[in-house]
Structure 1
Amino acid sequence: MSDGNKPKADGTYEYALVLGAKVNGETPSLSLQYRLGAALQYAERHPHVKLVLSGGQGPDELISEAEAMKRYLVAHGIPKSRIILEKNSSSTYENILYSKKLLPPSTEGVTIITSDYHLARARKIADRLGLQTDAVEAETPKVVRLKLTTRERLALLKTAFSQK
């Protein structure tokens, strides 16, 4: 899991894929806020990069994760013209698969922006879907770190042995 953040993103790719996380009603969860903070910093450093915000709407969410992310980023100064929404995914695999379909066919690589613990699996999935990647890692809130890293280790093992 610790190597998921290498290589670090440097603005090479035209698109950055921001992976969704839980939304509480219409408010991004703490984990999603950390991802959005990392996305905002990256977008400010690389103004040519477009952001693909990926995440559907869970049964207990009032809006999609993508919509919650868009509202946050626009409120923090990112123009809507730099944002592409993917609102149908319900898993990391679908985040990447559905987002890839929104990109020009000539796109060979993307920057993945997600929680530090999540990068290795997300990048492995992107590789299987034919995308080169670099990474921007968002810190994981301490209050959920143990739970999420334990769950992610199991998910990474599952990904390693699956065909997707």
Structure 2
Amino acid sequence: MANLRYSQTADFDNVKAIIVLGTGFKNNKPTPVLASRLDKSASIANKNPQTLLILTGGVGFNKTVSEASVMRAYLLDKYRLKNPMALESKSISTELNLKNSQMILANANIQLNEPIVIVTSDFHTLRALAIAKKQGFGDVMTAGAVTPVYIRYNNWLREYFAFVSGWVLGEY
């Protein structure tokens, strides 16, 4: 039986990996939504200094660097994290973020049934959890980063349609 959980406040102690889902960057800097996800992941990583951080996001349209590399630079510059980091820099969707992260987990000898945290935005946790469950993650938790107020309602509305679309297309 899969152990799937969501929390904004859990301590997330003794996790084996933290997967941070990308969402966009501009001028090689995280957008406010991505920065919120990275800040959330840093607070979890600081409590778990040996835990592998997997940063996800490929090279988007009109970009020259991967989102994962921008995320790494932000975390190192702002938080000076010592955690091991792996870049999943080929994906452009949540489904691919999680699918491609599985190879990184396997290479680090981390099984899908071990405690793994997926860090995403508060509006995105339900869909991320559903996709992870379908892909075979067995002990996964989502940590929801707070979405800035000025874009919160647009993102919640967009996510509603993405959730329905994902269900219709069989993502979960």
Pick from 68, 82, 85 the counterpart of residue 83 of structure 1. 85
Equivalent residue runs for 1:105-144 within 5 Å: 107=111, 108-109=113-114, 110-132=116-138, 133-144=140-151
Q: Aligned partners of 1:95 and 1:41: how far apart in 2?
A: 21
TM-score (norm 1): 0.90
Aligned to 1:56: 58
Between 1:136-145 and 1:55-64, the stretch displaced more is 55-64
Asked if the contact 1:18–1:112 (Cα under 8 Å) also holds between the matched residues in 2, the reply is: yes
Aligned to 2:16: 14
Asked if the contact 1:4–1:120 (Cα under 8 Å) also holds between the matched residues in 2, the reply is: no
Runs (4+) of structure 1 exceeding 3 A deviation are 6-9
Unaligned runs of 5+ in 1: none
Q: Residue 94 of structure 1 aligns to which amino acid in structure 2?
A: L
Identity %: 28
Q: Residue 19 of structure 1 aligns to which amino acid in structure 2?
A: L
Q: Aligned partners of 1:77 and 1:85: how far apart in 2?
A: 17
Asked if the contact 1:34–1:140 (Cα under 8 Å) also holds between the matched residues in 2, the reply is: yes
Aligned to 2:29: 27
Report deviation, 1:11.
Answer: 2.5
Structure 1's 97 and 131: CA in aligned 2 closer, same or farther, altered over 3 A?
Answer: same
Q: Aligned residue pairs: how many? A: 161
TM-score (norm 2): 0.86
Unaligned runs of 5+ in 2: none
Q: Aligned partners of 1:117 and 1:67: how far apart in 2?
A: 24
Structure 1's 6 and 39: CA in aligned 2 closer, same or farther, altered over 3 A?
Answer: closer
